[in-house]
Amino acid sequence: MNHSNRPLRRRLLAAVSATLLATCAALPSAAFAQGEPVKIGVLMPTKSVIGQQGQQGAELAAEMINDQGGILGGRKVQLIVYDSNFQPVEGVAAAQRLINQDRVKFIAGEISSTVALAVLQIARANNVLFMAAVPKHPDLTKSGYDKVFRLTTTLDADSEYFDRQLLERVKPQKLAVVAENTDYGRYVIEGSKKRFGDKFVAGETFELSQSDFSTLMTKVKASGADTVCIVAGKPEQAANALRAMGTVGLQARKCTATGVLNNQILRLAGDAAEGAFGSDIYVSTRRNPLNDEFVKRFQAKHGHVPEKVEVLGFESVWLTAKAMAAAGTSTDTAKVAEALHKNAWTTPRGEIRFDAGGQSQARDYVDFVAKGGKLTASQ
């Protein structure tokens, strides 16, 4: 047996071993760069129509980003979705699960202001960035926490706009407001009382579990209201309220608070929605490249065009991921928040910026009226 090549073999084996060790040492970081997903938590009341709308938008955002190659060197966006069920206790539990169990540093979505205000406290205590989609209560972006953002308009802005429309165009002599018994609903009732004074004749609240509105609308009818404004986050409840107006013979103009009226309500209420009017911040026919792509893909996937809740769900994930990419991190919430505050962002609604409190600065309103089962821009 020839032993003369043993030293050479040893040197070759040592070189190969060193190369293998170096390669193995590099694998975790390479795998992280290309394979480890970027987690974004999503809170929505997923058992409700409106929560499903928001979730559909959020999921499409992740899908479109991943189809573009992901972010941060090709990493895919992974959504972890939990049901908040319109309940602060359940929303807080879901947020804690995202943070403690799933190790999430970014939470997007939510519909309810009451839930969002509770989740905000958990986010703040854990240095988590919270990109709220639909909650409207002004206090959400007045907390002083620099890592909370809101995409929709506030109740103050909505109420100011819609009350002005009522006062200048509708001119009700006797206004009644029928609102959900939440921070959102009670806020609208109190604001309407102040703005309309003696012309405000009734303010009635209903529970989020309520489905029968006959007794409530009978009380409103007794007030002599000539205009009834419905404030409901759930399309099912808004539709039931509209139907109840017909059931009890309440002959009054039908209005909805800003951001309430949509095609889901028209489908659920049928003829009872005819003539109802309202306003919102998004219309699917808005022309820009991102909205064109968003609407095309949403319609192909779900069979109908998206509306405000879908687009806000989309934006909550889209902007969170885009800001991570701009900041170059999926873990440093301070850097991502800084990027969100500093830059202008392209969305299906057009370009938006965030103010110092995290409130989005995009306030174009579109007025609608229900005619023949469709929403038509009112003149």
Q: What is the CATH number of the domain that holds 241?
A: 3.40.50.2300
Q: Residues 223, 291: one domain?
A: no
**Ranges of H-type helices in the chain:** 6-34, 49-67, 88-100, 113-125, 155-165, 183-196, 214-222, 235-247, 263-269, 289-302, 308-327, 333-342
Residue 46's closest CA among 95, 87, 89, 83?
Answer: 83
Q: Taking the mean position of all CA atoms in its chain, how far away is CA 265?
A: 18
Range of the domain at 165: 156-280
What pLDDT is recorded for position 220?
98
Q: Residues 53, 100: one domain?
A: yes
* Number of domains making up the chain: 2
Q: Residues 274, 320: one domain?
A: no
Q: Residues 326, 308: one domain?
A: yes
What would the two tokens of residue 364 be? 């174009």
Q: Residues 59, 110: one domain?
A: yes
Q: Examine residue 376 and state whether it is found in any structural domain, yes or no.
A: no
Query: Residues 265, 269, 270, 273: what is their CA dihedral angle, to the nearest 10 degrees?
Result: -80
In whole angstroms, give the CA distance from residue 260 to residue 101: 35
The residue from 247, 280, 313 where one domain ends is 280
pLDDT surpassing 90 at residue 33 = no
Which neighbouring-strand residues pair with 78?
A: 39
In whole angstroms, give the CA distance from residue 48 to residue 86: 9
pTM: 0.79
What pLDDT is recorded for position 20?
39
In whole angstroms, give the CA distance from residue 295 to residue 228: 33
Q: Are 108 and 131 in contact (CB under 8 A)?
A: yes
For 212-257, the pLDDT digits (tens) are 999 999 999 999 999 999 999 899 999 999 999 999 999 999 999 9
For 314-336, the pLDDT digits (tens) are 999 999 999 999 999 999 999 99
Compute the average pLDDT of residues 10-32: 43
CA within 13 Å, CB half, 223:
23
Compute the average pLDDT of residues 344-371: 92
In whole angstroms, give the CA distance from residue 287 to residue 290: 9
Q: Are 99 and 121 in contact (CB under 8 A)?
A: no
Q: Examine residue 366 and state whether it is found in any structural domain, yes or no.
A: no
Q: Residues 263, 344: one domain?
A: no
